[in-house]
Copies of this chain bind each other. A is one copy, B any other.
Amino acid sequence: MTSERGGAPALPADGTLLTARGVRSRAALLAAARRLFQSQGYANTKISDITREADRALGSFYTYFANKQEVLEQMAEDFKTEIETRLTELDLTRPEPFEVIRDMCAVHWSSCRAHSAELAAIFQASMQDEHFARRWREIRFDARKKIAAGIRALEQAGLAHNPEPEATASALGSMMDYFCYVWLIEGGEADRVSLPDEVAIETMARVLYRSMFAEAEPLGE
Contacts and interface: CB of A to CB of B under 8 A. Distances in A.
A126 interface: yes
Interface in A171-221: 171-172, 174-175, 177-179, 181-183, 186-192, 195, 199-200, 202-204, 206-207, 209-211, 214, 217-221
Contact of A168 (B42, B99, B187, B203): B203
Contacts of A133: 186-187
Nearest to A163: B202
A179 B186 contact: no
A190 B124 contact: no
18 contacts: A14-B52, A43-B43, A44-B128, A99-B220, A133-B186, A133-B187, A144-B189, A166-B189, A166-B191, A166-B192, A167-B203, A171-B207, A172-B175, A174-B175, A174-B179, A174-B181, A175-B175, A210-B217
Contacts of A200: 167
A: contact size bracket: 35 or more
A130 to B, nearest CB: 9
B202 A98 contact: no
Looking at chain A's contact residues, is the secondary structure mostly helix, strand, loop, or mixed? helix
A206 B162 CA distance: 9
Contact of A190 (B123, B137, B167, B210): B137
A207 B199 contact: no
A153 interface: no
Contacts of A171: 175, 179, 203-204, 207
A36 to B, nearest CB: 13
A66 interface: no
Contacts of A138: 190
B190 A141 contact: yes
